[in-house]
Amino acid sequence: MSSNNNWRPATKLIHSGTSRSQFGETSEALYLTQGYLYDSAEAAEARFKGEEDGYIYSRYGNPTVAMFEERMCEMEGAEDARAMASGMAAMAASIACQAKAGDHIVAAKALFGSCRWVIEALMPQYGVEFTLVDGKDINAWKGAVRPNTNIFFLESPTNPTLELVDIKAVADLAHENDAVLIVDNVFATPMYQRPIELGADIVMYSTTKHIDGQGRCLGGIVLGSEEWINEHLHEYFRHTGPSMSPFNAWNFLKGLETLPVRVTQQTSSAGRIAELLSAQKSISRMIYPGHQSHPQADIAAKQMSGGSTMVAFEVEGGKASAFKFINALETVKISNNLGDAKSLITHPATTTHKNLSDEDREELAISDGMLRLSVGLEDSEDLLEDIQKALDSI
């Protein structure tokens, strides 16, 4: 297997984890198989006993999926990982594999909608309690801790308002209380934020987003220590079956190769769009983690090595103006997805965050005029012109 700890990220994303067949293929092989053969009954017995290395069934492991897991581990600085069928399969597994009746989860309020549902609606069905806090306020995290708290969960930057949570401060608090911290690192991408170095125990991704990067396959991954994975995730993963398809893993391996060039270009365009928006009278609020106007620019500088491919902003005039603006866009398409080569815009209040109560939306500052833009790989000039034209139309 190809591996070198001295490689810089872009090199790791091309070579790490590659395991070649006897044919010496340059590109990673796609092992689209459910099962594996054994040379003898004795060999099958030995493999099932764990006395002999090798694959048994693709629900447990697959060589193409293993290459993807290994490349992600090397990139993230994690000991082990399990790739899954979607980001939500990964998020739900990261919690369900370790939570027991009587446990208590503390999580930030500003989470991807389905992540909130898992914590607020699903886990209580199994007797797991939770408290949601304002992730920006470390005292709120402190105040929420109970003797039975054993899991902390957060996302930073958050969806859609791009708020930041101080990962190191929350990780320290979790460890003082013998809890583990899980970080959803989707918005930052592995390029710009390294939660394990900041103290997080477990990192998860929806690989559907920037890691695919071209809007094709769903996927997710959970990364952590070998000890945590063996104790909690290993058996859960084998027996509940959220495994990633080898085809999707192959696609994500290809996606990782171009992740740095894509994310750098998307961030560069996003920064220019943020500048354009911040100078407009019709924009009442512009939120961009790489901009000096971001209210938590100090935390961005401390824990992120780049801005973001996402820009959030509020159009003066509420829903009517927001709809008029996005309907006037031509190059930027209307979609709730993100991290794609195509620039995509969404109106969170009526789509991704419509299930929140009015109160919750207000608390999270998701107003009727707010829009979330995922910046793609089109020519920056075309994006700037498209946005300016739509702004002029309102």
Ligand X SMILES: *Cc1c(COP(=O)(O)O)cnc(C)c1O
Q: Among residues 38, 338, 81, 339, which one has the least CA distance to residue 203?
A: 81
Residue in 58, 189, 208, 321 binding ligand X, rule: CB under 6 A: 208
CB nearer ligand X, residue 155 or residue 166:
155
Using the rule CB under 6 A, give the single segment among 72-80, 84-92, 162-170, 361-369 that binds ligand X. Answer: 84-92
Window 257 to 276, contacts with ligand X (CB under 6 A): none
| Site for ligand X contains 206 (CB under 6 A) | yes
Task: Report whether 243 contacts 65 (CB < 8 A).
Answer: yes
Q: In sequence order, what are the residues at sequence separation of 6 or more whose Cβ sits closer than 8 angstroms to the Cβ of residue 166?
A: 138, 299, 302, 303
Confirm or reject binding of residue 252 to ligand X (CB under 6 A).
no
Residue from the set 154, 174, 186, 322 that interacts with ligand X by CB under 6 A? 186
Least spacing, CB of residue 333 vs ligand X, in Å: 17
Q: Does 294 interact with ligand X (rule: CB under 6 A)?
A: no
Task: Decide: is 86 part of the binding site for ligand X (CB under 6 A).
Answer: yes
Query: Given strand 129-133, what is the order of strands in its sheet?
Result: 80-84, 220-224, 202-206, 180-184, 149-155, 104-108, 129-133
Which residue number, 288 or 321, has a Cβ lying nearer to ligand X?
288
Residue 23 burial (10 A CB sphere; 0-12, 13-18, 19+): exposed
Sheet of strand 310-315: strand arrangement:
283-287, 310-315, 370-374, 344-346, 333-334
* CA distance linking residue 265 with residue 258, whole number of Å: 11
Contact call for residues 358 and 145 (beta carbons, < 8 A): no
Among 70, 166, 184, 386, binds ligand X (CB under 6 A): 184
Which residue's Cβ has the minimum distance to ligand X? Answer: 87
Query: What number of other Cβ atoms are within 10 A of residue 193's Cβ?
Result: 24
Q: Considering the rule CB under 6 A, would residue 159 count as an interface residue with ligand X?
A: yes
Please tell me whether residue 115 binds ligand X under the rule CB under 6 A. Answer: yes
Quick check: 209 binds ligand X (CB under 6 A)?
A: yes
DSSP H stretches of helix in 77-200? 87-96, 113-117, 138-144, 167-176, 189-192
| 166 contacts 199 by C-beta, under 8 angstroms | no
Would you count residue 155 as binding ligand X (CB under 6 A)? Answer: yes
Smallest gap from residue 208 Cβ to ligand X (A):
4
Q: What is the nearest approach in angstroms of ligand X to the Cβ of residue 316? A: 27
Measured from the CB atom, the residue of 218 and 341 that comes closer to ligand X is 218
Binder of ligand X out of 68, 112, 130, 228 (CB under 6 A): 112
CB distance 82 to 237 below 8 Å: yes
Site residues for ligand X per CB under 6 A: 86-88, 91, 112, 115, 155, 159, 184, 186-187, 206, 208-209, 218, 220
